[in-house]
Structure formats: structure tokens, C-alpha cells
Structure 1
Amino acid sequence: MNFKELGINNEICDILKKSGITEATPIQEQSIPAIKAGRDVIAEAQTGTGKTLAFLLPIFENISPSVNETQALIITPTRELAIQITEQAKKLQDGKNINVLAAYGGKDIGAQLKKLKNGVHLIIATPGRLLDHIKRNTVNLKKLKTLVLDEADQMLLMGFKNEVESIIKESSKSHQTLCFSATMDSAVKKLAYRYMSDPLVVTIEKVKVTLENIHQEVVETLDREKRNALCTVLEQDNPFMAIIFCRTKRRADELELALHQRGFDCEKIHSDVPQPKRERIMKAFRNADIQYLIATDVASRGLDINGVTHIYNYDIPEKSETYIHRIGRTGRAGEEGYTCLFVDPKDTRILEEIETKIKLKIPRRSL
């Protein structure tokens, strides 16, 4: 189905066409008409299914540029996601008089205040910074038409439940609520249903678990030997661009230091890295100016980067879904991808869970 058939105007259809987007994805097909009609929607879909456009396109259709009020608000758990959604929104802005503001911690609040004085139609924000604006009386949500909770499961996981509820209480009583999430567990459903009336539930079946064109291997090692094992693998593979996943911020810090000392071209991102620096690192990585990006799961959530040839799981993730999510960053668009998972004997149970989930005994790599 094309976007015109879904009721999207010609100007926006042309902008999408320029980016090579002509056909709607299943989540866009099922959500856009309902959102345009003002209905509450709960949508469950994995990253990479086109859910950002599924809510952005009808929001752009429903905003009245002549009304100088905040009409739509998108809340997202991380700064990176806020930046990504803002980039997509700015592309759609072309030729439309819609003012968009990204509000997240680490970004100059003075510039945000100045922009708010001139009136903003759409705000894309992280919960903490938005509440800061509400307390300063610089954001008024009393005329809000649409509120989007993006990556709702991650928002709850990161402990933003109280902030989200405070924001909803500050919003107009009659707004439309949209809840988008990769997983619809009971906590997400509970939050969604409390603030929604008769929502349309859209569930997009998970894409086949593991992509055929990703070659996976496991290196069995001990935790104290892991760093040497990783360095041996990196020297043997010398990938074009790779992401190395760590379980915690501290592990990412230690690994970055050790790899720098051994002469590897790497940078880390996690939630303690200052925002301007994170943006610089991500830009450099996207441009392939950095070979290795060391990341935690939270910092990497929702990031879509072309050209990643290798994924290294320095630490095994706690859930099999996270493993699938991580390795899906490579082998995109029909390209070949490679992933390597480093496991200590204590990781055996999780490894077995992953192998059961993907229906594959992952080949062992010997060093």
C-alpha cells in the first residue's frame, strides 16, 4: 500500500519518495488511518519495522500550523532516540510551517527556552528534561492533541514510570495517546490501558528470529581471559566497522581503556558519556571514521547504522531477545554479517536459551 492511499498528503509523499520510501510497512498500514482518525493506539513492533514514521506521518497531518500551541509530544527513553526521531521529523518539515523542538538533557537549555518562546507545535523529549520545562512553566501541554510513548517497555525498564505519569497528568484531558513498544509485557499494558480509551491494538509478528546472512560463532573462554581473546579475534578479523557490546558502563569503560592501550581505534557510548560527545562519536562512527564502537544495550537501543559488518558480544546479554536485537545490527539489506559471542562457563544456561530460541547450535571458534 502506498502512503497516498493511507491519506498522507502529496508534499509528504514526495519527501518520502526522495528518501526512497514508497510502500508502507505493515505497522504503518495498520496504524496510520487509526491515528489520523484520532484513535488511541497500542502498537507492538520490533525496531526496524518503520514505527517512527507510523506515528510521525499522521501527527504531521493532524497538526494545524496556524495554531501556535504544542499539539503533539513524543516521549522517548534515551537522547539517541530523541535525536533520531527529530532527524526524521525535520525531513518531513520541508515546506511545512511546523516548528519542532528536541528537548533532552545535555543539550543547551537556553536554546530550547528561546525556541519555546516562539511557539513549538511538536516536542520530542526525554522524560527528565521535559519535566524540567514543565516545572519552569516553559512548556504548556493543555492544548495537546497527541501524546506518543515511544519504546514504552524501555522507558519502564529505565525507571521512568513516575515521570511519564506526571507528564500525562499535565497534559490536556482529551488528548489521543499512542503507545509504541518492542515488547508488550504486563507493565506496559497496565500503563497504557490506565490512560487510554478503547485503544486499537496493533501487533506486528516478529520477523524470523535470526537472519540467514549472519554467520554466528561462539568463543569459549574464561572471564579473566576474555580481553585477550577479544583482541586476538579483532586482529584476525580486522572488520570494516564493528560494535562491541558490554553488559555495564563500567565494563565498557575498562574495555575502551584496554583497547586504546593496544592501539585499537575505538570509542564508547553509554548514558554517562556527555551528550555532545555521544553525538560526535555517533556521527564519526556513522561516517566510518571510527572502526569499533563499544556500547551498552541502553545506549544502542534503536540505533540504525549502515555498514556495520561485525558484532562482538564481549558480554553475553541476559535475555535471548537482546542477543537477537544486538546481532540484527549487522547483515542488513541482504549484506553478509558476522557475530561473535564470548562465553564464560557461568554463561552456559543463557547460551543454551539463546541456541533454543534461534534453533541453532552456534559453531565454536577456536583461537
Structure 2
Amino acid sequence: MAVFTSLGLSEWLVRQCSQMGINKATPVQENCIPAILEGRDCMGCAKTGSGKTAAFVLPVLQKLSEDPYGIFCLVLTPTRELAYQIAEQFRVLGKPLGLRDCIIVGGMDMVTQALELSKKPHVVVATPGRLADHIRSCKTFNLQKIQFLILDEADRLLEQGCSDFTKDLEVILGVVPSKRQTLLFSATLTDTLQELQTIAMNKPFFWESKSEVRTVDELDQRYILTPEKVKDSYLVHLIQKFEDENSDWSIIIFTNTCKNCQILTMMLREFKFPAISLHSMMKQKQRFANLAKFKSNVFKILIATDVASRGLDIPTVQVVINHNTPGLPKIYIHRVGRTARAGRNGVSITLVTQYDIHLINGIEEQIQTKLKEFPLEEKDVLKILTQVNVTRRQCEIKLESTDFDEKKQINKRKQMILEGKDPDMEKNEKETKKITKRKLKEMKTGHGKKGQK
């Protein structure tokens, strides 16, 4: 690992890094920082937890110190929590400059955000949807003079299957200057990312970690084979085991839906575990509050959907548990990357049911690593099986009484209205498709009304 002074960074930035306990550059920083300082577009692809954020923050701050004016840098990122984390890194490293940053994400007051934008902060960190809304509705700020456009977790932002991100990016790219430096960073490389030339045109520099392994060596990757109906009992027993064996422990549990996230949180609290949740159905202020409580160790367990799987850096996390096996290897890579960061050790455990064997095979092939079985006594799991199943059902009934599903539908309708879509039209289209499908089936089988006559 190189020292920062050899990369061309100013003395004041090296001192700031030293104050944060960062004394040597990681490979992604060592390779990308000089290219960015030369004025080249850059795309960096490296393992999660390898220091990608500092790889773009440091050179941007150096360039800003040479000519501080207007909105100098725009950073786009897929999640609100990650936007706050990136802004914090800019703020800490850029303190000697008196750096002014602005965070533009959903769930917060648009008028307040518009006022902050009009004050011409040096750095704007935004989620594409909310920034696109400001561009469409507000003319009090100007992005025509930005020097840097940065896409963090670029594979997610450029995913062709994600039409919302694509539309919002088109709006943003329409108002930023063509003469700029474009930086793209990600932990996973996709076909979309390889089409770098469509966004980056300024002598692009590409760097990808040479390692075929997409997870770090310090991560101990395990699995537990469990029948679907016993999975929650294994989870409870697993947490009990960590609680008994470690005084200083911190766990993130990933699950696939907001509803399951909420139920698991309620269930674990019934077992007196210090658990807190994070999912997209929560209000933004509550999401931030819960994340802060977990970071400060007020709560030891965070149950989350994939809203927390990207980029979040929480040093205290020792264990990541996948309550469901991720359908895509890259989702697995991002999830388990929440532990064993920056050279620290960590453990990931995936609960694998009889339906998930092919998914695990795909993950192992992608990460070039075989997962090892995590030893647990089945008899200890069976002891708590009835209690866990009853507790879970009670939590499901309790959640149903709060109209959780109805709230989800209301939120979905609100989002569609904000995007200019007609929610009733979509509902009618779905009903029409169902009726058409049923009639075609009746015609084929002869069981329709005509067939009966």
C-alpha cells in the first residue's frame, strides 16, 4: 500500500487522513487518485469495504481547494443513508476548507432543500429521484458549472432494468455541462457499467481489482442448511449463541421484504433481543434515527432490507446474517460487505433452505469461494421451535391489525402520482390482463359459458 504523499495529494489532505487514522492508500485509492488528479474520467471497480469513497473524495477536495466556487461537485448515489455517509466524509476531510455540502434525498422537505441549493454549496450529494424533481420544478440553482459528476454504486444507478433511475439520470445529465470529469465507482461490474464511453468521454481511466474474489479475505463465509419452516428458530438460536459467547457484538440481519423485516424485528424483541429495523416503508427521520441508534450500539441488532446493503460503513458490525438467500450473487456481495471492512475480521452466515441450493452454487461460482457450514446443535433449535413459531404468528397478527399492507399500497399510489402515473389505470390494466387470460383459458378448455351450453 502506498502512502498518500506519493499519490500527489496536498499536505493538508494527508494530515486530515492521518487524523482519521488513514495512513496508507488502498489499491483502489492508489490507482484512481493520480488519474483523477490528472483530470481524467475514471471508473473504479473494487471489493466492498476497500475505500472507494475516499478514492473520489480526496482528489475532489484537492481540486476544490485550488478553485473554490459554486456547486463544484455532484455525487449521485442510490440510497438516502449512503448519501448522508458520503456527505459526512466530504465534511470531515474537507473541514480545513470550510466545505459547504448539501444533501438532496427523498422524505425531506423540498422547500428547505431548494433554499440550500440556492446558496451554491461546494458539494451536492443526492439520490437521482429527488434531484430530478428539483430540476423539473425549481430554477433557483444551476449545475452548469460543476467540475465533477460522480456516480457511487454506479452499477445500481445505471441498471437498465431500473427504469426510474434511468429516467431521472437522463434529466440530470441534461443539465450538467458536457465538459466535466465523470467518476464511476462500484463493487460489482456489470455489462451496463462497461458502456462507460456513453457517459465518460475525457480520456477515461479504468481500474478493476485484479482479484477474482469479490469478497475480502478477512470475511469468514458460512451457511446453515435449514428447512423453510424451521428457519426462524435457527435465527433465534444463532443470535442467542452470539449473545452468550461475545460481550461486544453487533449484527445486521438482511431479509427480502419490508413486511418480513418488521415481523422479524417484533419477534426478536419478544425474545428480549435489542433489535431495530430499517426498510423503505419507514419515514425518513425514523430510518436515520434507527441507523444512528445502531451505529452508537444502543441497539445491537439491525434487521434490514437491501436498502442497507449498499455502501454503508458501520465499523462495529461483526456478523451479517442472510435470513433469505439472495437471488443474485451481487446482492450477496453487497450484503456481506457490511462486515469485515477496512482490514477488520467478520462473519457472514446465510440461512439456506431446500429451495436455495442453486442460488448458493451461483454465489460460490461468482465469489470463487466455497461457503463452509456453520456448526449448530439441531437439538437446541428444536427446543425453541414451538415457542418461535407461536411468537412469529402472534407478531404477524399484531402487524395485520396495523394495516401495514394497506399503508404499503397507499405509499405506492403516492409514488405513482408523484411520477405522473395514474395508479387506477395500472390497476385496470392488471384486471383487464387477468380477465383476458381467463377467457383465453376458457376458450382453450371449452369450460366457458358457451362450452357449458
**TM norm. shorter chain > 0.5:** yes
Asked if the contact 1:244/1:294 (under 8 Å) is kept, the reply is: yes
> Displacement, 1:245?
1.1
Residue identity opposite 1:131 in structure 2: A
Aligned length: 366
**Contact 1:65 / 1:97 at 8 angstroms: preserved in 2?**
no
Q: Which residue identity does 1:327 align to in structure 2?
A: V
1:44-55 alignment runs, 5 A limit: 44-55=45-56
Matched residue of 1:133: which SS?
A: helix
Partner residue of 2:242? Answer: 237
Q: What residue in structure 1 maps to residue 193 of structure 2?
A: 188
Which residue number in structure 2 is paired with residue 84 of structure 1? Answer: 85
**Is structure 2 residue 183 aligned with structure 1 residue 178?**
yes
Q: Give the drift of 1:273.
A: 2.0
Is 1:359 matched up with 2:336?
no
Amino acid at match of 1:186: D
Q: Distance in 1 between matches of 2:276 and 2:268?
A: 9
CA distance in 2: counterparts of 1:312 and 1:231, whole angstroms: 11
How far apart in 2 are the matches of 1:105 and 1:12? 32
Deviation string 1:292-333 (CA, Å, 9 cap, x unpaired) is 100122323111112223222211111334334433433456
1:300 aligns with 2:304: no
For residues 333 and 27 of structure 2, the distance between their equivalents in structure 1, rounded to whole angstroms, comes to 21
* Matched residue type, 2:147: K
Partner of 2:327: 318
The equivalent residue for 1:258 is 267
How far apart are 1:87 and its partner, in Å? 0.6
Q: Deviations over 1:129-157 (max 9, x none)?
A: 11122221133111111111111112234
More divergent stretch after superposition (281-290 vs 97-106): 97-106
| CA pair 336-151 structure 1, distance change in 2 beyond 3 A | closer
Residue in 2 that maps onto 1:141: 143
Structure 2 CA distance for partners of 1:256 and 1:36, relative to 1, 3 Å: same
Distance in 1, matches of 2:344 and 2:61, equals 34
For the residues of structure 1 that align with 2:340 and 2:234, how far apart are their CA atoms?
23
- Name the residue aligned to 1:168: 173
Q: Structure 2 vs 1, CA of residues 207 and 22 (structure 1 numbering), >3 Å: closer, same or farther?
A: farther
What SS does the corresponding residue of 1:95 show, helix, strand or coil? helix
In structure 2, C-alpha distance between the alignment counterparts of 1:56 and 1:355, rounded to whole Å:
33
Q: Give the CA deviation at 1:363.
A: 4.7
Opposite residue 145 of structure 1, the aligned amino acid is Q
**Residue aligning to 1:32:** 33
Structure with the greater alpha carbon radius of gyration? 2
What's 1:344 paired with?
Answer: 353
Higher mean C-alpha deviation, range 11-20 or range 207-216: 207-216
Q: CA deviation at 1:347?
A: 0.9
- 1:248 equivalent to 2:257? Answer yes
Distance 2:377 2:103 in 1: 47
Whether 2:156 is the aligned partner of 1:154: answer: yes
Aligned equivalents of 1:336 and 1:265: distance in 2? 23
Indicate how the Cα distance of structure 1 residues 298 and 156 shifts in structure 2: closer, same or farther if over 3 A, else same. Answer: farther
RMSD over aligned Cα atoms: 2.4
The aligned counterpart of 1:128 is: 129
Alpha-carbon distance between aligned partners in 2 of 1:215 and 1:7, rounded to the nearest angstrom:
36
- Separation in structure 2 between the aligned mates of residue 268 and residue 3 of structure 1, nearest angstrom: 38
Alpha-carbon distance in 2 for matches of 1:65, 1:119: 17
Structure 1 range deviating more: 302-311 or 162-171: 302-311
Taking structure 1 as the reference length, the TM-score comes to 0.91
1:267 aligned to 2:271? no
Q: Encode CA deviations 1:191-219: one digit per residue, 9 max, x unaligned.
A: x3112223111112347556565555433
Equivalent in 230, 233, 243 of residue 228 of structure 1: 233
* Other-structure match for 2:209: 204
- Whether the 8 Å contact between 2:309 and 2:338 is mirrored in structure 1 is no
Instruction: Check whether the contact 2:91–2:99 (CA below 8 A) recurs between aligned residues.
Output: no
Indicate yes or no: 2:329 matched with 1:327. no
TM-score by length of 2: 0.74
Amino acid across the alignment from 2:237: T
| CA–CA distance in structure 2, aligned partners of residues 330 and 64 of structure 1 | 34
Q: Structure 1, residues 163-210: CA drift from partner, whole Å, max 9, x if none? A: 1122111111211211112222111222x3112223111112347556
Letter of the aligned partner of 1:150 in structure 2?
D
Change (3 A) 1:317 1:115: same
Tell me if the contact between 1:323 and 1:354 (Cα under 8 Å) persists in the aligned partners: yes
Aligned-partner SS, 1:273: coil
Whole-Å separation in 2 of the counterparts to 1:81 and 1:264: 26
> Separation in 2 of the partners of 1:64 and 1:337?
37
Q: Decide whether aligned partners of structure 1 residues 342 and 137 sit closer, same or farther in structure 2, where only a CA change above 3 A counts.
A: same
Gapped regions of structure 1 (runs ≥ 5)? none
Contact 1:214 1:330 in 2 (8 A): yes
Provide the C-alpha distance between the structure 1 equivalents of 2:179 and 2:61, rounded to a whole number of angstroms: 19
CA distance in 2, matches of 1:28, 1:361: 32
